[in-house]
């Protein structure tokens, strides 16, 4: 592999750090590329976040400095590119538009589709890349995107919207390694990222106060919280955008034997519907309509497995291919908290064949009126 060049996305985290080491040890000519996708000078509400250290430097710059430190230590160059405008146009605006519709979007999936596996590839090609690589926990084997060996960290769910042609020359060095081993390797190399906390929050935007952050972009309209079974007003919500189906946090209302859970929304009436009890039938559906379909291989099964949330167990489903290009996904068993805006990702054994965005949630062949 001495004549093959791999450009790897360096995030300043432990996963991409070790992925770069594994590539170099395999004989590739490795080049690091750091993406700046968010202007951290905007709405600096990360200041005062107790989970963020080095408050005198924005988190994104710290990530770049960490990536630079790693690249220097392992002896590879690091380049830097700016996709701030593109991230805003293709990912963040989508995120805001979905929230306005009352849905629960997954911006990380769109970031992979439009930024990491599109714009990044084009930039990597300018650097002479034969392959690109990332620190995702996934595999490419025999032309198929497959789950990683570390099933607890598997990230194929987030790669489900990446088109097949964008996966042709992609390497996932962490596909056959456990997270614990990644930490161990980073420690052996004495990398600055060895004990660094895994990133959370919105992709590239970081660990911000979510409610405070969204106030900069969307109006905060409070409204009634209604018990869907009794039609009783229980309290006041702080804005529909802050709630998702199945959520119980933020519903600390007294007088109930069981916990309350979000079960639906009405944009027209600005009402948040809740139910009592985690196994309440109102939380369950038996099918859904999925739109914006992407298949990354030739497989088109009628029966397969599906995930409707990250880290969710596989669910056996039947797939009907509708004339308008959407999918009707029927579950073998009722599933709780399937949510419009989230991804439905399809699997044949350990192969991720793609997926789409949940448009409607149904029960007994009827759209659930209280779920947007």
Is a pLDDT exceeding 80 seen at residue 340? yes
**One of 111, 275, 288, 304 is an active-site residue; which one?**
111
Which pLDDT does position 200 carry in this prediction? 65
| Centroid of chain to Cα 342 | 9
As a whole number of angstroms, the longest Cα–Cα distance in the chain is 69
Q: What is the pLDDT of residues 92-119, one digit of tens each?
A: 999 999 999 999 999 999 999 999 999 9
Average the pLDDT over 40-45 and give the result.
60
46: confidence class by pLDDT, cuts 50, 70, 90: very low
Q: Count of CB atoms within 10 A of residue 255's CB?
A: 5
Q: Given 58, 71, 203, 344, which residue is catalytic?
A: 203
Is pLDDT above 50 for 79? Answer: yes
The answer to whether 40 touches 62, Cβ cutoff 8 Å, is no
Residues 247-262: what's their mean pLDDT?
A: 84
What pLDDT score does 39 carry? 77
Task: Let me know if 52 is exposed, middle or buried by CB neighbors in 10 A (0-12, 13-18, 19+).
Answer: middle
Whether the per-residue pLDDT at 342 is higher than 60: the answer is yes
Q: What mean pLDDT is predicted for residues 124-148? A: 97
Q: 213 falls in which pLDDT band (50, 70, 90)?
A: confident
Could you read off the pLDDT of 8-42 as tens digits, one per residue?
999 999 999 999 999 999 999 999 999 998 876 66
Confidence band for 214, pLDDT divided at 50, 70 and 90: confident
pLDDT score for 1: 53
% helix, strand, coil for the chain, step of 5: 25, 30, 45
Residue-level pLDDT at 322:
98
What is d(CA 304, CA 321) in angstroms, rounded to the nearest whole number? 13
Identify the sign of the CA torsion 356, 359, 363, 366: negative
pLDDT, position 48: 43
Catalytic, 352? Answer no
Tell me what pLDDT residue 268 has.
94
Q: Which helix (H) or strand (E) holds 21?
A: helix 14-25
**Percent of the chain with pLDDT strictly greater than 70:** 92
Q: What is the mean pLDDT of residues 306-320?
A: 96
Per-residue confidence (pLDDT) for residue 285, from 0 to 100: 98
Q: Could you give the domains of the chain?
A: 5-210 (3.40.50.620), 219-276 (2.30.30.280), 283-367 (2.40.30.10)
111 catalytic, yes or no?
yes
pLDDT mean over 213-237: 92
Check residue 328 and give its pLDDT: 98
Q: Is the pLDDT of residue 160 over 60?
A: yes
316, pLDDT greater than 90:
yes
What value does the mean pLDDT of the chain take? 92
Q: Which residues of 96-113 are buried (b: 16+ CB within 10 A; e: fewer)?
A: bebbebbbbbbbbbbbbb
Name which of 267, 249, 245, 268 is nearest 259 in CA terms: 249
Strands 5-9 and 131-133: parallel
Q: Shortest CA distance to 308 belongs to which of 270, 274, 334? A: 334
Question: Taking the model in full, what pTM does it have?
Answer: 0.92
Paired tokens of 323? 């004339």
CA terminus-to-terminus distance, the chain = 51
| More confident call, 12 vs 58 | 12
**pLDDT over threshold 50, residue 52:** no
Say how far apart CA 372 and CA 369 lie, in whole Å: 7
Answer with the residue of higher pLDDT: 372 or 75: 75
């Amino acid at each position: 592999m001495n004549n093959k060049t791999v450009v790897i996305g360096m995030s300043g985290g432990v996963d991409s750090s070790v992925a770069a080491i594994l590539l170099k040890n395999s004989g590739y000519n490795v080049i690091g590329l750091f993406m700046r996708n968010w202007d951290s000078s905007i709405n600096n509400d990360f200041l005062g976040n107790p989970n963020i250290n080095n408050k005198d430097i924005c988190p994104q710059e710290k990530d770049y400095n960490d990536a630079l430190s790693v690249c220097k230590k392992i002896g590879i160059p690091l380049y830097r590119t700016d996709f701030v405008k593109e991230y805003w146009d293709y990912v963040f605006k989508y995120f805001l538009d979905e929230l306005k519709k009352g849905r629960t979007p997954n911006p990380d999936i769109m970031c992979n589709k439009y930024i990491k596996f599109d714009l990044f590839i084009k930039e990597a090609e300018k650097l002479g890349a034969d392959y690109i690589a990332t620190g995702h926990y996934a595999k490419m084997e025999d032309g198929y995107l497959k789950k990683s060996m570390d099933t607890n960290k598997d990230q194929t769910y987030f790669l489900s919207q990446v088109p097949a042609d964008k996966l042709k020359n992609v390497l996932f060095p962490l596909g056959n390694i456990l997270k614990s081993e990644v930490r161990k390797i980073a420690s052996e190399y004495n990398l600055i990222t060895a004990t660094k906390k895994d990133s959370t929050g919105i992709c590239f935007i970081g660990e911000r106060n979510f409610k405070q952050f969204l106030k900069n972009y969307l109006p905060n309209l409070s409204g009634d919280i209604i018990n869907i079974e009794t039609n009783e007003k229980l309290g006041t919500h702080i804005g529909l955008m802050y709630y998702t189906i199945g959520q119980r946090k933020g519903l600390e209302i007294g007088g109930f034997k069981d916990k309350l859970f979000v079960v639906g929304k009405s944009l027209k009436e600005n009402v948040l519907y809740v139910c009592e009890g985690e196994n309440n039938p109102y939380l369950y559906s038996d099918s859904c309509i999925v739109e914006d379909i992407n298949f990354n291989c030739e497989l088109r099964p009628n029966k397969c497995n599906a995930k409707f949330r990250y880290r969710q167990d596989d669910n056996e489903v039947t797939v009907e291919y509708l004339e308008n290009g959407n999918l009707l996904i029927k579950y073998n068993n009722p599933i709780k908290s399937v949510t419009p805006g989230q991804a439905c990702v399809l699997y044949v054994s350990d192969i991720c064949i793609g997926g789409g965005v949940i448009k409607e949630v149904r029960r007994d062949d009827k759209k659930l009126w209280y779920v947007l």
